[in-house]
């Protein structure tokens, strides 16, 4: 069973990735010619993440397809049934995660997005992919929306929202992580080092490696070994 490669999921992902390419062209051109950088974006995020989210409301900022397939593979390999995502945007990464839950036979993805308009589009995209019954899209700041209503035994977490909140969001989820849970963090660069220091320290119950996809974006995989 692999719903990623079959319609409706495959068709919706193709459409969304093409739309993302168009919508984010200017941003990617800035990254490519050096007028803008992921580092700069993360600094703006730390200074005023709500302002940055408003400024980026028309951008997809979606994960790259190879990272999406990797997430699907992780979720299938650890038979994830409880997945939490920080940073929904238009739902591209959510589709990869929910497709894995569908193919695992049971489960639910909780995802959270600050911008209500983005969350609404994500819901429509998930419905078009036939996955909306598996996803709980929560609107608001992740530090509020994930504070309750997350069952114990989370198998996989994707951190892809405001970077400076990765550590507080992870700490919020830590009591609910299953031993063996995987945490994938996009855009985790050594800015203040807080998040990476935490997940690189085995005393905190993690084993962490950088991922080879788009190293400039700072993708990392952590295994929660339990404490
Ligand atoms: C990089 S995008 C997510 C892309 C998405 N994971 C995908 O691959 O399609 C980050 C999103 O996180 C949202 N965000 C940022 N800070 C947030 C917060 N504190 N709580 C919830 N969402 C937040 C932004 O509005 C933005 O849409």
Task: Give the pLDDT of the chain (227 residues) as one tens digit per residue.
Answer: 799 999 999 999 999 999 999 999 998 899 889 898 888 888 888 889 899 888 889 999 999 999 999 999 999 999 999 999 999 999 999 999 999 999 999 999 999 999 999 999 999 999 999 999 999 999 999 999 999 999 999 999 999 999 989 999 999 999 999 999 999 999 887 776 799 999 999 999 999 999 998 777 789 999 999 87
Whether ligand 1 lies within 6 angstroms of the CB of 92 is answered as: yes
Best probe residue, ligand 1, of 23, 62, 161 (max atoms within 8 Å of C-beta): 161
Whether ligand 1 lies within 6 angstroms of the CB of 135 is answered as: no
Q: What is the DSSP annotation of 152-221?
A: S-EEEEEE-S-GGGHHHHHHHHGGGEEEEEEEEESS--SSS-HHHHHHH-GGGTEEEEE-SS-GGG--EE
What does the alpha-carbon distance between residue 187 and residue 219 come to, in Å, rounded to a whole number?
6
Whether ligand 1 lies within 6 angstroms of the CB of 61 is answered as: yes
* Structural domains of the chain sorted by starting position, each given as residue range(s) with its CATH number in brackets: 3-15+60-224 (3.40.50.150)
Provide the 10 A C-beta neighbour count for residue 29: 11
What values do phi and psi take at 213, rounded to 5?
A: -80, 125
What does the alpha-carbon distance between residue 4 and residue 102 come to, in Å, rounded to a whole number?
10
Whether ligand 1 lies within 6 angstroms of the CB of 163 is answered as: no
- Output the CA 159–ligand 1 centroid distance in Å: 9
Whether ligand 1 lies within 6 angstroms of the CB of 63 is answered as: yes
What does the alpha-carbon distance between residue 223 and residue 157 come to, in Å, rounded to a whole number?
10
What pTM was computed for the model? Answer: 0.96
pLDDT at position 192, please?
65
- Output the CA 88–ligand 1 centroid distance in Å: 5
pLDDT at position 193, please?
78
């Amino acid at each position: 069973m692999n719903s990623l490669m079959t319609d409706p999921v495959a068709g919706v992902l193709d459409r969304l990735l093409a739309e993302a390419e168009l919508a984010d062209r200017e941003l990617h051109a800035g990254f490519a010619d050096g007028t803008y950088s992921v580092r700069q974006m993360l600094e703006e995020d730390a200074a005023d993440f709500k302002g940055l989210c408003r400024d980026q409301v028309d951008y997809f900022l979606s994960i790259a397809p190879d990272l999406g397939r990797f997430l699907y593979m992780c979720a299938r390999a650890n038979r994830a049934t409880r997945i939490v995502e920080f940073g929904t945007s238009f739902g591209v990464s959510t589709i990869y995660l929910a497709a894995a839950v569908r193919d695992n036979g049971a489960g639910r993805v909780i995802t959270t997005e600050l911008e209500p308009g983005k969350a609404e589009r994500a819901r429509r995209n998930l419905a078009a992919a036939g996955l909306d019954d598996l996803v709980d899209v929560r609107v608001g700041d992740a530090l509020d929306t994930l504070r309750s209503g997350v069952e114990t035994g989370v198998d996989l977490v994707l951190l892809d929202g405001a970077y400076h909140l990765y550590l507080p969001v992870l700490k919020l989820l830590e009591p609910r992580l299953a031993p063996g849970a995987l945490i994938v963090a996009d855009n985790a660069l050594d800015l203040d080092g807080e998040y990476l220091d935490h997940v690189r320290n085995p005393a905190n119950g993690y084993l962490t490696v950088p991922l080879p996809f788009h190293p400039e974006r700072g993708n990392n995989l952590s295994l929660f070994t339990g404490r």
